[in-house]
């Protein structure tokens, strides 16, 4: 461990816990359906990754799962269908 990593006020305690991290990334929604979305994403997301998508323009945040990624485009499946009123043109 580097000298900088060893500088701390409190003692550290070894653990083997699983944890998660949240990051915000900009995406461009390409299309939207009741059960999912397709979007251009700046970094590849592994299949199975759980995310919270902010649908913008009056759409609520939705929990979704990454179902595929190809050439910078990702397919998401919503964990619960969205309301038809949230679809473009509704």
Domain count, the chain: 1
The enclosing domain of 56 has a CATH number of 2.40.30
Domain that holds residue 41: 25-81
Six token digits for residue 67: 């179902």
**pLDDT value at residue 3:** 59
**pLDDT value at residue 84:** 87
Is the residue at 10 inside a domain? no
Gap between the Cα atoms of 78 and 63, Å rounded: 6
Is the residue at 41 inside a domain? yes
Is the residue at 63 inside a domain? yes
Compute φ and ψ for 3, nearest 5 degrees: -60, -40
User: pTM for the whole thing?
Assistant: 0.74
Is the residue at 34 inside a domain? yes
**pLDDT value at residue 12:** 80
Contact 76, 64 (CB under 8 A): yes
Is the residue at 90 inside a domain? no
Is the residue at 4 inside a domain? no
Across the 90 residues of the chain, what is the mean pLDDT of every consecutive 10-residue run?
A: 66 85 86 94 93 80 95 95 82
Is the residue at 61 inside a domain? yes
**pLDDT value at residue 23:** 80
**pLDDT value at residue 6:** 65
């Amino acid at each position: 461990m580097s000298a900088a990593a060893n500088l701390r006020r409190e003692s550290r305690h070894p653990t083997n816990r699983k944890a998660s991290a949240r990051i915000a990334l900009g995406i461009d929604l390409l299309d939207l359906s009741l059960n999912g979305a397709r979007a251009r994403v700046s970094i590849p997301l592994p299949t199975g990754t759980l995310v919270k998508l902010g649908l913008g323009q009056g759409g609520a945040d939705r929990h979704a799962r990454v179902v595929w990624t190809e050439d910078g485009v990702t397919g998401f499946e919503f964990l619960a269908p969205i309301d038809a009123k949230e679809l473009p043109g509704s």
